[in-house]
Amino acid sequence: MAEAAGFSAADADAVALATDEAVANVVEHAYAGRPGAPVQVRFALRPDELRVEVVDQGVTVDPRAMPRVDAVRYAAERRRGGFGVHLMTRLMDSVTYRRSGRSNVCCLQKRRPGGPHR
């Protein structure tokens, strides 16, 4: 969808990877790996951006409570896991979290090339 909207292959790959990380976080943390739990991925193409929303009804996680990642130390210690939110924020122009009714919504935004900027 990102490529069809005029994003470069690299930006489209970034959107795909960030979306994959957001869904993986839902499966692992919001649902603790419970099979069959619902995850909805919604896409909205706007004049200035592509917006991806990952929606779940699992446990709410406060992103402010997550520790900051020191990428150099992380790599030196050869750690696994715990890098997804950091990666998402590096790949996308904006990553936000909100509650909507009984749902958690992770919103990933990537500005469109050549589109109006806020």
The domain ranges of the chain are: 9-111
Cα Rg for the chain, rounded, in angstroms?
Answer: 15
pLDDT at 92 (0 to 100):
97
pTM here is 0.83
12 pLDDT band, cuts 50/70/90, is very high
Distance CA 41, CA 53 (A): 6
Q: Which CATH superfamily is domain 9-111 in?
A: Histidine kinase-like ATPase, C-terminal domain (3.30.565.10)
Please list, in sequence order, all residues whose beta carbon lies within 8 angstroms of the beta carbon of residue 47, skipping any fewer than 6 positions away.
112, 115, 116
Residue the block writes with tokens 């020191």: 70
Strands 103-111 and 39-45: unpaired
